[in-house]
């Protein structure tokens, strides 16, 4: 996976971000008995707020396209701890597959 990210600082704790990704995938559709490999792309945009304690919150929308077969859009909210991007309590608000 190849990722590029840009951030716009709104204040000392708030920022907006955009992320573009390129990826390689392999999926098996068992109900259609097909296997596919290929490349895909993803784009995400979101808002993040970080507190002095190192804890933060994020909300984002991500669109993922895997070839011509699968498109996924996800709206997410997460809690970020420390200086890493590990979401300890993420949940999906809206998810759709076309």
Domain count, the chain: 1
Name the residue with tokens 């002095």. 52
* Closest-CA residue to 84 (of 55, 47, 60): 55
5-42 pLDDT, tens digit per residue, is 899 999 989 999 999 999 888 877 676 666 777 888 99
What does the pLDDT look like over 44-89, one tens digit per residue? 999 999 888 878 899 999 998 887 778 889 999 888 876 554 444 4
Contact criterion met (CB below 8 Å) for 3 and 19: yes
CA 20/CA 32 separation, integer angstroms = 30
Structural domain span for residue 63: 2-97
């Amino acid at each position: 996976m190849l990722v590029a990210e840009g951030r716009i600082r709104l204040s000392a704790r708030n920022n907006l971000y955009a992320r573009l990704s390129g990826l390689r995938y392999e999926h098996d559709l068992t109900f259609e008995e097909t296997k596919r490999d290929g490349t895909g792309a993803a784009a995400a945009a979101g808002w993040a707020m970080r507190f002095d304690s190192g804890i933060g919150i994020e909300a984002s929308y991500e669109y993922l396209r895997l070839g011509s077969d699968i498109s996924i859009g996800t709206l997410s909210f997460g809690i970020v701890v420390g200086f890493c991007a590990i979401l300890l309590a993420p949940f999906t608000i809206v998810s759709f597959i076309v």
